[in-house]
Chains A and B, each alone.
Chain A
């Protein structure tokens, strides 16, 4: 296995261009090293950690720009993230152990494109986008279009994620990230649900709502039907329940050794219901009635 530690994005991109499918980018390595041990070794490893300027959290016209090498722990300890993007903060907080949070990067979490990746559903409900670079082009891609399957993204074999842009949600909005796993943060999520809700000025009806579902489809998804069923309507318990059931029907989970598909749907229903109720209460100071 060959090993490179490029000093610049350009250098990394030209290595990716040259080695293509054989190359593996490594950031924190908490996924890559496990794969090397238990699956196949890649032909060459491109360590991007020596590239300057790829870590950090900065305010950036109406949002936050996060460098892909920013660790999960950096997100968790950032006052800015906690204050302005609490849904993302909550995901970072419920992410594995402290040792893993110290090592794992948000870029790695995104590019790994695991359906259960903790930060992905928050990024979807925050309508964030990634800055994606190839040796010959660079684009800004909303994450809703970025994931194409488990472990698959529009980066293909030759792209690099160079920045993550998260616009601030409406000031009146509130949200939560709920993770379900047998052992809490220490486990890979069986189901992850991110909810962001914005009430209207009277705090009566739902102006906007976004629901992200993790670990229940080949990619993290938005529960579009559930969202549509709520928009513009006063949030009653019956509506809330119905939306949660819709979300469960939008999920397409699988049976695996962690749980059955049926159970995952039950949890999507339960967590969506809880997430909506909690967010609504946080946003309006009232229970859904």
Chain B
């Protein structure tokens, strides 16, 4: 659809709520101040694996000003989890990583909280620690969860341990095809754990209301799952728990997995509030955040591909070992995604990949931006270059050779409606100067593609209420963290109602008032809430037109709305102000309430019938390698994306730049470092190396039109996919510069120099 058809969608007005954030107004959760609020804090395990022999809280409790001390003994004997229900909110019997919550305190001041936490005496019996997931799978490894069974779908005869998820990809007959290949390339890749490092620390506050209901404030990406899990772990009926979303200062998926994300900080805070009979707030500090909350897991990936001399891929086999951390968390899902993506997004007639998700004594895997995708793409897209090298083929040409066409299938997508991948490659080549740009000594050029397959997932609703003056109040279930509530949703509602964007208010999530939603995760904001909000606005408009029709003596079908005026199409003189109709409505039905849903079944049926249009991307870059120090400098970076129709262009470009920057950080310097006992060695912004602006290239973004997706106006999700290609893109450019293939992240100066010296 061309932009000209629309009034506001496709444009880039300033973010609603942007100014308040930039000037530092008190908009975040930490600014919440409740009456008689106490401060809460959590005692965390100092062992990565140990039995809890005893916990003595008597001294802590006795301190003046301490109002509550809680341990597992204060909570119901109930566990939580997603694929495996394997975790208590406060450790019982055992701790499984350094950072596992053991006890908590509520007191008058933060200093008193610290003091009280020190006075809690825990006797541990240390157990052997396992850090590497491959080691954890071996029969002699320590057992992390005594009562968790192995996945039911494990193939017969597989002897493994500590596995909490298994995914297998089977296409065709890879063994036979591999035997017929002209060239076989076999490699192993590895990525490290990174933390999403949103700037705003995690907070939560809890208060028991006079009627016994519990109110929880949380800067969570998924307030409804938080409500459900708080109710479950505290043994309360769902309707007795209300979760109010505090504004988010970033999440990147790290706040996206219910109470798992923050290691149960919400129910722990609620437990303190119940025991203290006062409101309690917990704010994590940076170090605590880094050691205890959910992360992007490291993965080991074995990949083997057979090709014909002409570059046609005939088969792939592989194995993924995905680190879940101490509990299953989001590991099964992220590891499953990684396993599927190791099959690539090119034509793949024969494929077999086994993916194991494994417990280790470390932080727990969460749905961090594009969960599983960057890891898989690092292997897949580096591997594509290795194969091209072996074939003596241009890497871009090799990719084009295996390009799917409309109607084809790729791993994870039964039928593609259209395929923009080739066009993104073509444009990226042009923008980077592929084959044209003159490279100096130690400079190299690289390319890598990516996909982020959108498919079935939970739906969601929207409510659009028309106020007396014709302005609109919108309820959706997704929170604001620089995502759709401040960008896409107001544009969509304004477009459909013919009102200015500034007349649209999107209400923050309150589980008592907002439509249910699975959370702001999975690039699903525009698809789910965008679709729902559009339909809700259309529903409201329909009701308004019905009321206006009698005033204008016309059929509702003949009406249109523009600039807050309802007019008869073709007879602009016959019109009535939206405000007049909206005010009248209040005397009749109270207010016009439009409702809309994103119906997952309908989406799936549509995809089944016609195939799906997936987002695709190609990134390309030029780097310079300092062969004395191993330092890698990115000289130019282009990101070409098909994200369907961009509803708020600047927001989409912002998401792409942010996601690319996040993965450039993972590529060049980020990792959570452990010692052999499982202690995080770099839990501060001094030692955890996030890239600074002086390491960042300008990310030159191009949006490719013409491939409408399943979202409103043909939009596709855009929040995660740009995380997918950068790791391999940079590794490929380093290879091009130095002739050295680095298969282990990060591409830090030390690792690069070591690889150069070992080559």
Contacts and interface: CB of A to CB of B under 8 A. Distances in A.
Given A183-B689, A184-B694, A263-B750, A270 B629 contact: yes
Interface residues of A, number: 21
Given A182-B748, A263-B750, A266-B753, A257 B673 contact: yes
A185 B629 CA distance: 16
Contacts of A187: 689
A184 B754 CA distance: 20
Contact of A183 (B673, B682, B691): B691
A263 B694 contact: no
Interface in A264-285: 266-267, 270-271, 273-274
A186 interface: yes
A270 B689 contact: no
B694 A259 contact: no
A186 B694 contact: yes
Contact of B687 (A180, A258, A274): A258
Contacts of B631: 182
B628 interface: yes
Contacts of B691: 183
B550 interface: no
A270 B695 contact: no
A273 B754 CA distance: 19
Interface string A11-48: 00000000000000000000000000010000000000
Contacts of B750: 259-260, 263
A186 B629 contact: no
B749 interface: yes
Interface in B720-759: 748-750, 753-754, 757
Nearest to A191: B629
Nearest to B746: A182
Instruction: Point out which of B287, B629, B682, B686 has the most chain A C-beta atoms below 10 A from its C-beta.
Output: B629
Contacts, number: 44
Contacts of B686: 188
Contacts of A183: 669, 689, 691-692, 694-695
Contacts of A266: 753, 757
B681 interface: yes
Nearest to B674: A257
A186 B628 contact: no
Q: Which of A263, A267, A273, A274 has the most CB atoms of chain B within a 10 A radius of its CB?
A: A263
Given A257-B673, A257-B681, A263 B754 contact: yes
A98 to B, nearest CB: 12
Given A182-B689, A186-B694, A267 B682 contact: no
Nearest to B748: A182
B692 A180 contact: no
Contacts of B668: 182
A142 to B, nearest CB: 31
Nearest to B749: A182
Among B684, B691, B750, chain A packs the most CB atoms within 10 A around the CB of B750
A70 to B, nearest CB: 24
A130 B325 CA distance: 51
Interface residues of B, number: 23
A270 B628 contact: yes
A273 B748 CA distance: 22
B689 A263 contact: no
Contact of A182 (B287, B669, B681, B753): B669
B226 to A, nearest CB: 30
Nearest to A184: B694
A183 B754 CA distance: 19
Interface in B155-208: none
Contacts of A271: 629
B683 to A, nearest CB: 10
Contacts of B753: 263, 266
Interface in A242-272: 256-260, 263, 266-267, 270-271
B143 to A, nearest CB: 29
Nearest to A185: B694
Contacts of B694: 183-186
Interface string B668-688: 110001000000011010110
B75 to A, nearest CB: 30
B399 to A, nearest CB: 31
B332 to A, nearest CB: 30
A267 B669 contact: no
Of A38, A182, A185, A274, most B-chain CB atoms within 10 Å = A182
B679 to A, nearest CB: 10
A110 to B, nearest CB: 20
B682 A186 contact: no
A263 B631 CA distance: 12
Interface in A157-212: 180, 182-188
A60 to B, nearest CB: 36
B669 to A, nearest CB: 5
B111 to A, nearest CB: 10
A182 B753 CA distance: 13
Contact of B629 (A180, A256, A258, A260): A180
A92 B682 CA distance: 26
A180 B748 CA distance: 12
Nearest to B111: A41
A5 B671 CA distance: 42
- Looking at B684, B689, B754, the one whose CB has the most chain A CB atoms below 10 A away is B689
Nearest to B694: A184
Contacts of B748: 182
Nearest to B695: A183
Contacts of B629: 180, 267, 270-271
Contacts of A258: 687
Interface in B523-582: none
Interface string B645-675: 0000000000000000000000011000100
A126 B253 CA distance: 51
B690 to A, nearest CB: 8
Nearest to A267: B629
A167 to B, nearest CB: 32
A274 to B, nearest CB: 7
B629 to A, nearest CB: 6
B626 to A, nearest CB: 9
Contacts of B287: 38
A267 B691 CA distance: 21
Interface string B688-720: 010110110000000000000000000000000
Nearest to B673: A257
3 shortest interchain CB distances as A-B pairs? A257-B681, A270-B628, A263-B750
20 contacts: A180-B749, A182-B631, A182-B689, A182-B749, A183-B669, A183-B689, A183-B691, A183-B692, A183-B695, A184-B695, A185-B694, A186-B694, A187-B689, A257-B673, A263-B749, A263-B750, A266-B753, A266-B757, A270-B628, A273-B628
Given A256-B681, A273-B628, 6 more contacts: A38-B684, A183-B691, A183-B695, A184-B695, A258-B687, A270-B629
